Structure 1
Amino acid sequence: MRIGAHVDPTDPLDAAAIRKAEAVQFFLADPQGWKAPEPRADAEQLRAADVDIFIHAPYVINVATLNNRIRIPSRKLLLSHATAAATVGAKGLIVHGGHVSKGDDVAVGFDNWRKTFAYAAEHGGFATPVLIENTAGGDYACARRFDALARLWDAIGEYEVGFCLDTCHAHAGGEELLNIVDRVKAITGRIDLIHANNSKDGFGSGRDRHDNFEHGMIDPDLLVAVVRAADAPVVVETPGGADGQSADIAYLRDHVGG
């Protein structure tokens, strides 16, 4: 099991070494912006490194929305990030499940996801596997509650699409962590990456605020059980910089094997 952390994109390999991480996740561009990624000078080193690379797509991407001014640029930006992620040898491109607006039919949102993969296929496909991540909030989200996730997978399951399970998002989104791996795999058939995060807020809060393993509202033993059951690469997105993340990585290494 490869365990790592979300790090600053300036020098991911140095950040990995400091944390004793076997995997890193980072952004290739402003997570709140619409600019396509620029080529990285360290692309060759990243490809050659014995560190698993994961790229997180910008938060602004929402391919589910009925708003053309957001959906169409989102499709293009997702495709460009997948292409750029391949240049650094990324094993996956993580993107949030998105949402529709109040009053809109969420079924159209699921179909917009299907059209996103069809759009990519018309342009040669995604150069990096796309991993859709469950989200913490929103009454009209496509990947918060698992009944919605099942409808999303009904729409896109024919494509080669992966899944990233975020423990904080599941807890805050109102999905119990007990036996969650079995419930996800019954829908998606796979878990490609775990975002192992504790939560600053209570169950079903809808609030996306991560915490370190031993300081949040989720029993750390439950986080360990999820990671062990998933048997997938793990990225911690926890606070506290290198010290906080190093402690969480060490905690997982000490407990997952037990």
Structure 2
Amino acid sequence: MRIGAHVREDDDPIGAGERLGAEVVQLFLTDPQKWNKLTPHPRAEQIRESAIDVVVHSSYVINVASLNNRIRIPSRKSVAEQAKAAADLGAIGLVVHGGHVRDGEDPAAGFDNWRKLFERQADKGGFEVPILIENTAGGESSMARRFDDIARLWDQVGEFGAGFCLDTCHAWAGGEDLVGVVERIKAITGRIDLVHLNNSRDEFNSARDRHANLTDGTIDPEVLAAVVLAAQAPVILETPADGLADDLAYLREAVGNA
């Protein structure tokens, strides 16, 4: 079980990870809010040679489930391109949000679009790193907010070896109890490949994705530590920067004392 954080210094992720004492770091490869073309990372060799593991988070604009061709088609292309770029850095996976359809649209079409992503890529030899689908916090038409929807999604993508990233803030905000959450999600997906360990600024089932530091939010921090121990997967903190070092220290002590 390796513990680390999403680093804000995307141009020097290993340096940022070393300063935090992280064993794994997460980074973006491009502006997550835009459809920018990828460029080679300036520190690619350092990233590949480092003992610190790396995971890449895909752009937020990606929505594989969308029924809108102008969103879905570039989303498919971006997942493939970012997976290749992640592989070039020796990353352990590419995190992709579950996405959504619009209100009034049939969710079944969104789940089917996820299957088509993997089917199309399988014809090209598959993705170059594991695709880790992340649960999301809000939206009644989301593919990965409620666990019963994640079960529908896994019916479509599980046979392709899709991985899963469990975000604790998203689960809490999405209305899923964190007590026993690891067992419940593994019963659906068979796996947890990565944990995004975040507290929440908002109440249970708020549908708001606002992260808090581990001891400052509405989730009992002991419950968060219990998730880590149960999951036995790499852990990435995406908590506010001002308290990130304290969060890492708290988690290491909590896990070490368990």
Contact 2:11 2:42 in 1 (8 A): no
Q: Gaps spanning 5+ residues in structure 2: where? A: none
1:98 partnered with 2:99: yes
Q: Deviations over 1:136-156 (max 9, x none)?
A: 000000000000000000011
- Cross-structure match for 2:3: 3
Q: Deviations over 1:190-245 (max 9, x none)?
A: 0000000000000000000000011000000000000100000000000034xx21
- Cross-structure match for 2:212: 211
1:32 partnered with 2:33: yes
- Cross-structure match for 1:250: 249
Structure number with greater CO (CA < 8 Å, separation at least 6) is: 1
| Deviation of 1:58 (Å) | 0.2
| RMSD, aligned CA | 0.8
| Deviation of 1:10 (Å) | 1.6
- Cross-structure match for 1:76: 77
Contact 1:36 1:81 in 2 (8 A): no
State the number of aligned residues: 256
Give the counterpart letter for 1:93 in structure 2: L
Q: Gaps spanning 5+ residues in structure 1: where? A: none
Give the counterpart letter for 1:7 in structure 2: V
| Deviation of 1:65 (Å) | 0.9
1:181 partnered with 2:182: yes
TM-score with structure 1 setting the length = 0.98
Q: Deviations over 1:72-94 (max 9, x none)?
A: 11000010000000111100100
- Cross-structure match for 1:121: 122
- Cross-structure match for 1:166: 167
Contact 2:11 2:41 in 1 (8 A): no
Give the counterpart letter for 2:253 in structure 1: D
TM-score with structure 2 setting the length = 0.98
Q: SS of the counterpart of 1:5?
A: strand
Contact 1:170 1:177 in 2 (8 A): yes
Contact 1:6 1:237 in 2 (8 A): yes
Residue identity over aligned pairs, in percent, reads 61
Distance in 2 of aligned mates of 1:213 and 1:38? 34
Contact 2:11 2:43 in 1 (8 A): no
Distance in 2 of aligned mates of 1:154 and 1:34? 29
Distance in 2 of aligned mates of 1:246 and 1:2? 15
| More displaced stretch, 120-129 vs 8-17 | 120-129
